[in-house]
Each structure stands twice: as C-alpha cells, then as structure tokens.
Chains A and B, each alone.
Chain A
Amino acid sequence: MDNVPLPPGRNLLIIEDEHFIGELYTRALSKAGYQVTVEADGQKGLDLAQTNNYDIILLDLMIPTITGIEILRVLRDPARVPKVKAKIIITTNLEQREDVRAEIEKQADAYIVKAELTPHELVQFLANIK
C-alpha cells in the first residue's frame, strides 16, 4: 500500500461488496475519466482510504468486517491528523432512521440511494459535487 501520488479530482475508491454494482460503477466512472479502485471488504477499504489520497470515496454502509458508518467515523474523526481530504459519498440502498441519516449526512459529503440513480446519473451527480 504505497502512497502513490494521483492526479487531482480523478481518483476514486469504491467500498462496495456487491460485485455487480462495483462492476457497473467502475465501467461508467472509468469511461468518464476516473481512476477507480473497488474494495469489497470494510477493513481493507479503510486501509486504502487512509493510505491513499483519493478525491472521492463511494462508501456502502453494509459491508463485511467493519461497517461503512465505522469507516466514516474513523475517516472523519476530528482528532485525526492529517485530515482525509476525500469527499465521502455514502451509497446505500438501506433505509435509515431520519436521525441516523441526519447524523451520517453531517459527516459525509453526500448521501445517495443507489436504486435512485443509474450509473450514468451517478457520474453526473459526482460532477456536480463541489
């Protein structure tokens, strides 16, 4: 896990255990010019996020070993030095209680329901994330 410098704005990590979704997203995002890494395991995904300078992380919530919420908590820990600069986008199909969702949204940069966006629409959505 070397610290490879990556070109800005284009490096994207997908932490997602549903292989087909990873495949579809990789295809659409690669076509749009992103350099995409997919990781299905929570702990490995967290390690990747901590050791690489990603611009965007798509984070599923229900994943093996550690959950997306735990990963989010570690990456967005206020005591953390240096801060993780990546935009963290929660991608889930899970319904959350409104208060839980609000709490997640506070820490993440966006929250999207996978079923509501096609891969192409996801690419458009990411293009508008500031």
Chain B
Amino acid sequence: MDFLRHLTSQAKLKIFLFLIFNDLLLIAVWLSLSYFLKINNLITAGMLSSLGLLLAGLIAIYLSGLLMQPLKALWQTILHLAPHEQSTLRAPNIDKLRFGRQLVTSLSSQIYQLVNVAEQSRLLDQKQRGDLKANFIASSLPLPFFALDNQETVLFANQAAAEYIGIKSEEMMGKNIYMLLDMAFPSEDTFDKWLKNAKLHNATATCSWDRVRLSVLDNHPTRLFDLAAYYNKGNPQKIETMLILFDHTKQYSQDEQAISFIALSVHELRTPLTLLRGYIEVFEEELSGKITPELEDFMAKLNATAQQLTAFVNNILNVARVDEDQLVLQLKEENWQTVLAGAIKNLELRARVRGIKLEIKIADDLPPVGVDRLSILEVINNIIDNAIKYSGTSQVIKIESHLSKDGLVETTFQDFGLGIPLGIMSNLFTKFYRDHRHRAQIGGTGLGLYLCKAIVGAHGGTIWVRSQEGKGSTFGFTLLPYTQLAEAIKNNDNKEIVRSAHGWIKNHSLYRR
C-alpha cells in the first residue's frame, strides 16, 4: 500500500507543478500581450482563455499518458499471463517505466505468484482426476485385479477380484496375498519365485503364467486361470506389484474332466484286481512246488501282470489326485538304502519274468532322506516299469544311488534298450493325452513320468532323463537329505512335513505368513 500512497503523492505533485507552470505561463503571456502589443483586455482575455484551453488539453494528454503507464504495464502483465493471450503479448519492460515502477514491480510479482499457485492447483486437480480415472478403471475392470505393496500386502482389490475369490474387497485390504490366493503352478516357475527374483534384480518386470490353479473357500470350486503380473520397484504410490487373473476354469477343466472320467472308470478295476491278486496268492501258496516249472513260470508271470495292472490303476488314480490337488505327501525321515532296496525287491519279479536282472549299487554313506514312502515307491515303480518295457533285448537294468556334489541323494536307473527319440524328450514329463503323435510309437509314456515329476517335485527334488536312441536311457532323480528339508521348516516338532504334489513345492509354511 506504501507504493500506492507514494504513487498518489507523486501524481498530486506532478499535477500541482504542471498547473502552477500553466498559471505562471498564462500570467506571463497576459502581461506581455497587454504591455507590448497594447491590445485591449477583452481580446487578451479571449486569447488567453484559448491558450489556457490548449495548454490544459496538452497537459491532460501528457499527464494521462504518464499516469496510465503503471496501469498499462499491469494490464500487459495480466494479458501476458492469461491462458489464451500469452503467445501474442510480451511481458512489459518495467525498467522503462518513468512513473510507479515500484508499484508495478510489486503488483506484477504478486500476480506472478497468484498465477503460479493457480497453475499448481490446476495440475494437482488434473492429477487427482487422473487418479480417480485410474481408480475407476481398476474398480470397473471386469478381471480380478490386485495391487500389492512391497510386503505383498493387498493395497487394492477390485470388485471382480472380490467376486472371484469370494472375499469382500475391504476384507482383503492389508492381508498378505498368499493368505488370500492359494495358488498352485504347473511348473516350478511360480509367482513368488519370480517376484523374489524381480525384487533382487529388476526395477520393473512383467511375467505371465498359464493354468494356475486356485483353491479358494471350501464351498467354491477350484479355479483355473492365467495370471499376469507387473512389478515396479519403489512406486511412489507404494503399489509395487499388480496382478490380473484371466479365468479359464471352464476351458481348462475339460482336460481335467477327461482325467477324472478315466479315474472314475479305472476305480472300478480296483475290486477285481484285489480279488485277482488275492486268488493268485492263494494259488502260489498252495501250488508252489507241486506244479511243473513251466506252470510255476506262468504263475509268476500272472502275478507280475496283476502287479503291473495294479500299478497302472494307481498311476491313473494318482494323476487324477495330483490334478485335483488331492495328493498330499507326508515326508518322514527314512533310510534311503532300506526304502530303495525294499522297492527293488518288490519289482524283481516283474523284471525276472521278462528275463531282466536288476543290478543295484547303493552307496553306504547316504544320509537319511525326507520321503513319503508310498509315493516314492510309485516313482521307483514307474521308472523301473518303463525301463523293463523299453529294454528290448538287453537284460540288465542298473540302479545306482549316491550322494551328489550338491549334497543331494541321487538315484539313477539305466537301461540299455531302445532309447528315446530326441523329438519327444521334452514331452516325456507331460500328461499322456497331450502327446498323441507318439502314442503309436511309445504306448502310455508320459502318464507315469508326469506323476513321477509331481511326486519328486513335492519332495523338493528334480527328475531328469538322458537318452540315446538305440543305446538306452538313464532316468534319475534327487532327494533332499532330511536335515535340509527340516531346515526349510523351523519348529518342525512332529518329524513330518506335509506337502501337496502338483509338480512343484507348495508348502504353506514356507510361502505363507
């Protein structure tokens, strides 16, 4: 306000000085006219009033220009900043002002500040509207969507997500995603593995998975979906990971239903098989030593065949259980030498009737392993059954077990038979019905191995194959020493670890909090 007062007094002074000057000039002119020209008073008065009027006009023009300078500068400033005019008008040069410079400087700096504030609030408003838009999109996205922070806690879950897993959105907030989504993956490349890796090595990362299975609440059926995830380290809004689920339950479960149907039918074979094996046993007991060697041999073959059929039925039923997430393993501390030797003893009959000898070499420094006895027997059964089936004319299957360089218990099964064509090697561990092309060449392959992979995986081990056509194949799998398994799960008082076989390790106490 000081500037304004200053300006006013400046203007007052200027006008006052101009008026004094005007008056003095008029007096001087009047005196000179009447003295030198001897003109009468009436005419001089007329001339003077005309001159006075002219001078007043000139003064008014000059003064108005001068007084308007600050206003003009301010006007120019405003127009310069106005949103639609800024391109045509330049900012006023305040230094050139002869009058009211301080006032204009002060006011225009105020104007600049005001405009700045307005601009910021406009940007903020725009951002908020942007956030609202993003929020709206995420909420109304017809796909289940989750936003997680760096602790994998849910920051946001949309309506579709709530409906999909049957928990209200607000109830999901602040919960750990692994508590809400009990996901199982068809391979070992799981979401949590990817996320851990992304956190260590990437600023941003994306990944997608097919055929993820989700067990939700008891009254909801299992869901099958594809999953896409995006990771963004240090996002200012704290949203570090985003998940979108693409449901394919209907499509994928058709495959599963195929297996379920087979399982249902095969189930019916169990009772006749129980009887068949029971009666064969009676015959063996009663007739042993009383019949010809040829009949003894037939009896052994009959028994081996019944055993093989039982193993096949178990395979199918277990594949169905793996697919339905129903194969739960109880890993206990076991002496591997005992388990392996016992399993092989049971299989000797099947090998013997086909003229094959099982050669066994088990290292004696093996540590105890953590295994589910029944399931691991099934793995051994399958691998040896395959080896017998594909031995061709060779008569030996070599079985070895030793401690690997990584401290794992590795067991290998080598046959010297047909070998596996390179083209189907990669399909060996997938489900049988996916490999139609080679079914004519290799009957049934894949089912047993698919199961083996799931079971070995649930034990924390890996299964592999090495083969050369015409020379034979070697299958091998690793098992963890029990101490290593137990280390993975602290407070394991009951000497037992429960795992579900789905081709990967899915241990809740490891992944869940």
Contact = CB atoms under 8 A, between A and B. Distances in A.
Interface of A: 18, 20-21, 24, 27-28, 93-95, 97-98, 113-116, 118-120
Contact of A114 (B271, B282, B321): B271
Interface stretch (B85-93, B156-164, B272-280, B350-358): B272-280
B317 A95 contact: yes
B185 to A, nearest CB: 19
Contacts of A120: 281, 285
Interface string B234-277: 00000000000000000000000000000100010011011101
Most chain A CB within 10 A, of B271, B274, B321, is at B274
Contact of A20 (B275, B281, B321): B275
6 contacts: A21-B271, A21-B274, A21-B275, A95-B317, A95-B321, A115-B271
Nearest to A93: B270
B270 A119 contact: no
B328 A98 contact: yes
A97 B321 CA distance: 9
Nearest to A97: B326
B314 A116 contact: yes
B310 interface: yes
B326 A93 contact: no
Given A115-B273, A115-B313, A95 B278 contact: no
B263 A95 contact: yes
Interface string B467-500: 0000000000000000000000000000000000
A119 B282 CA distance: 9
Given A114-B274, A119-B281, A120-B285, 19 more contacts: A18-B275, A20-B278, A21-B271, A21-B278, A24-B278, A24-B282, A93-B267, A93-B271, A94-B267, A95-B267, A95-B317, A97-B326, A98-B321, A98-B326, A98-B328, A116-B310, A118-B277, A118-B278, A119-B278
Nearest to A91: B274
Contact of B281 (A93, A115, A116, A118): A118
Contacts of A97: 326
Interface in B128-149: none
Contacts of B321: 95, 98
Interface string B271-298: 1011101110110010000000000000
B377 to A, nearest CB: 10
Interface in B203-244: none
Contacts of A20: 275, 278
Most chain B CB within 10 A, of A20, A93, A113, is at A93
A98 B310 CA distance: 21
Contacts of A28: 278, 281
A22 to B, nearest CB: 11
Interface in B371-395: none
Nearest to A100: B326
Contacts of A18: 271, 275
A106 B55 CA distance: 119
Contacts of B314: 115-116
A27 to B, nearest CB: 7
B279 A114 contact: no
Contact of A24 (B279, B310, B326): B279
A27 B281 CA distance: 11
Contacts of B267: 93-95
Contacts of B313: 115
A125 to B, nearest CB: 13
Contacts of A93: 267, 270-271, 274
Contacts of A115: 270-271, 273-274, 277, 310, 313-314
A24 B275 contact: yes
A27 B275 contact: no
B481 to A, nearest CB: 27
A119 to B, nearest CB: 5
Interface in B306-329: 310, 313-314, 317, 320-321, 326-328
Most chain A CB within 10 A, of B270, B278, B321, is at B278
A127 B277 CA distance: 20
Q: Give the 5 A-B residue pairs with the shortest CB-CB distance, closest first.
A: A93-B270, A24-B278, A115-B270, A114-B274, A118-B281
Nearest to A102: B328
A34 to B, nearest CB: 16
B458 to A, nearest CB: 13
Contacts of B282: 24, 27, 119
A40 to B, nearest CB: 14
A113 B371 CA distance: 20
A63 to B, nearest CB: 13
Nearest to A113: B270
A120 B277 CA distance: 10
Nearest to B500: A98
B51 to A, nearest CB: 117
